[in-house]
Amino acid sequence: MKKLTRILILLSFFLFTTGNLNAQWVQTGGPEGGQVFCFAAIDGEIFAGTEGGVFRSTFGGYGWTPVNDGLWNPVVFSLAVIDTHLFAATDGAGIFLSKDRGSSWINVTLEMEGFAANDLTVVGSNLFAGTWGGGVWRADHQGADWTPVNTGLTSDTVNVLTTNGTDLFAGTWGAGIFHSDNNGQNWASINHALSADTIIALCANETTLFVGTWGHGAFRTVDYGLNWISCNNGLTNYFPWCFTDHATSLFTGTWGGIFQSSDHGSNWTPANTGLTNTAVRALFSKENQLFAGTQGGVFLSLDNGMTWSDIDAGLKNTSVTSLLINDSHLYSGTRSGIFRSDDNGENWENVLPNTYISCLAAMNTDIYAGTDGHLIYPINKSENWDYLRLENCGTLNSLIIDTDIIFAGTTKGGVLHINNIAPGFWQITNLGLADTTINSLLLYDSYLFAGTAHAGVLRSVRNDTIWQPVNNGLTSHDVRVLASSGDNLFAGIWGGGVFRSTDSGTTWIAVNSGLTNYDVISLSVSGDTLFAGTWNGGVFLSTNNGTDWVEMNQGLTEPAIQTFAIIQALISDG
């Protein structure tokens, strides 16, 4: 005998079988990679700080294991080591300490909670943290007794810190660079003649301080900022996020790849052979190994940057923005491209690398993707891609296809549509649209619906361009997602849970019984089963159109659920 079992796949790629409601989520085989912000080393072990926590490698980067027990904020911007103590700076939860090489973590900065800790550095026995909104903080080598040390700083947003002996340097957002020679007690501006005020990278080596700026490239000084020299000859990208010395060269990682200099930054040459993701946020040198942390995982060079190879095995860290099932293939839209799996997520192939993907849609067997300011579409019905620009519209948050018409919901430009992909012109569909920040689009019955950030749900008759608000009964107008099942229309509301309409959106009622997290950001329907994904509350399931909900989080280690995909398969039960 056979039974129909629905396999549900969601963000971070956990898999669940609804045929057994007591089953637990199991993580799939990837996609591997994801955003890597920083590195550190303790003896022979390498640590990577990512948007999915801390990963450890005991084999020089060849094979990664997550080490996040107790690390309840997974976005790790910076790592620092004092003796064998490992510190992690997180986005909004302060600093965490591990005394056992990442196996367990404790928070050591509850007084700093709420600040994004952007960077860590060590001077002697003191640990310093640069934060977003809190300036610079200082603690002892145990991470205890944190104290703000901001006298002289004119910006409370410190992006980056570095040291040179007992000298401490802070790069800020909007106020340039500051120097302290007394453990942060006092700071002095060293911005004389520096033609940039937002600093995103710092590197000091003996007599020279290098800085990376937001949009103005690299600079250096040999006299504590009295004079600055532009170091951009050969750079093709002016956003240098990191520097490191390796062997006899200086390297910088930019949003456009890695560059190498053998003359202290006077001239740069590209060093990107084998680097399939060129959005580089971190560089780390250890003996003959040079590591690069990118938006698409970790790369390693053993020949002074001449060639690179990806070493992502076990680095299941990819931030998944969208999932799509089409023609027996499972597609994943991520911050580092489009991945495809033909075996329910066990193995993945990156079919469009090095591109931030915000949403996916399908027309027959063709896959379309949204990104920042562009629609990505297939050429010659294959996985070769081209880009169609949307002027001044921001990111495409949602794509939906009605026969041969593609509708795009954007962050700045409202709703646009196009009849023919190439050549073709976008047409604005915003008459009556009270909010141009579109989170979700849905075709239902004879209507096109738009879920907006500030104006709730709006409805337009198909093939019409006039929008009408349909918010009667909604308690919040921040609509993150729309879905439908039979005669029921559902809206996921940030802070409001799930609402249901049985009259095409004319009226709404809250359906939240059993729902313990009301920040609903994803919905998916399979037959009579409705799934709700929440921000930091995991997954909830309803079998009666949302009237009652049950938490379904056993085995799920990532509680922020941005997207679902449901694969229906015939499973033999013997």
The 3-state secondary structure of 515-560, one letter per residue: CCCCEEEEEEEECCEEEEEECCCEEEEECCCCCCCEECCCCCCCCC
| Interatomic CA distance for residues 571 and 343, integer angstroms | 14
pLDDT over 80 at 295, yes or no: yes
- Under 8 Å between Cβ of 319 and 311: no
pLDDT over 90 at 40, yes or no: yes
Chain mean pLDDT for the chain: 85
Q: Which residues contact 263 (CB under 8 A, 6 or more apart)?
A: none
Q: In degrees, to the nearest 5, what angle opens at C-alpha 535 toward C-alphas 71 and 21? A: 95
Please give the average per-residue pLDDT across 25-47, as a whole number.
85
| Interatomic CA distance for residues 466 and 429, integer angstroms | 7
Q: pLDDT tens digits, residue range 82-119? A: 989 999 998 888 899 999 999 999 998 866 666 788 99
Q: Which CA distances in Å does 25 have to 10, 29, 545, 555?
A: 10, 13, 23, 5
The 3-state secondary structure of 231-265, one letter per residue: CCCCCCCCCEEEEEEECCEEEEEECCEEEEECCCC
pLDDT recorded at residue 253: 96
Query: Which residue in the block uniquely carries the two structure tokens 């994803």?
Result: 522
Closest CA relative to residue 104, chosen from 116, 127, 92, 88: 88
* pLDDT classification of 143: cutoffs 50, 70, 90: confident
Closest CA relative to residue 537, chosen from 564, 558, 555, 512: 558
pLDDT above 90 covers what percent of the chain? 44
Q: Which CA distances in Å does 81 have to 86, 87, 98, 234?
A: 5, 6, 10, 34
| Interatomic CA distance for residues 34 and 320, integer angstroms | 9
Closest CA relative to residue 212, chosen from 261, 160, 248: 160
Q: pLDDT tens digits, residue range 180-226? A: 999 999 999 999 888 899 999 999 988 899 999 999 999 999 998 88
Helices (H), 412-569: none
The full DSSP string for 382-401 is SS-EEEEE-TT--BEEEEEE
Closest CA relative to residue 327, chosen from 371, 374, 378: 378
Q: In degrees, to the nearest 5, what angle opens at C-alpha 514 toward C-alphas 512 and 520? A: 50
Among 94-108, 130-144, 231-245, the minimum mean pLDDT is found in: 130-144
Instruction: Specify the 3-state DSSP secondary structure of 495.
Output: coil
Please give the average per-residue pLDDT across 308-328, as a whole number.
82
What is the residue type of 397? N
Q: pLDDT tens digits, residue range 520-542? A: 988 888 777 888 888 888 888 88
| Interatomic CA distance for residues 477 and 455, integer angstroms | 5
pLDDT over 70 at 423, yes or no: no
Q: Which residues contact 463 (CB under 8 A, 6 or more apart)?
A: none
pLDDT recorded at residue 424: 62
In this structure, the number of other CB atoms found within 10 A of the CB of residue 361 comes to: 22
Query: Which residue in the block uniquely carries the two structure tokens 């103590």?
Result: 85
Q: Which CA distances in Å does 93 have to 40, 64, 71, 252, 308?
A: 20, 24, 9, 29, 34
| Interatomic CA distance for residues 297 and 30, integer angstroms | 12
Among 159-163, 314-318, 392-396, 404-408, the minimum mean pLDDT is found in: 314-318
pLDDT over 60 at 1, yes or no: no
| Interatomic CA distance for residues 473 and 495, integer angstroms | 15
pLDDT recorded at residue 574: 31
pLDDT recorded at residue 570: 29
For residue 107, what is the DSSP state?
Answer: E
Please give the average per-residue pLDDT across 36-47, as a whole number.
93
- Under 8 Å between Cβ of 532 and 526: no
| Interatomic CA distance for residues 461 and 447, integer angstroms | 5
Q: Which CA distances in Å does 249 have to 265, 407, 493?
A: 9, 49, 52
Which residues are 325's β-sheet partners? 330
* pLDDT classification of 569: cutoffs 50, 70, 90: very low
Q: pLDDT tens digits, residue range 351-367? A: 888 788 889 988 888 88
Domains of the chain are 2-28+317-572 (2.130.10.10)
In this structure, the number of other CB atoms found within 10 A of the CB of residue 152 comes to: 15
In this structure, the number of other CB atoms found within 10 A of the CB of residue 181 comes to: 14
- Under 8 Å between Cβ of 318 and 327: no
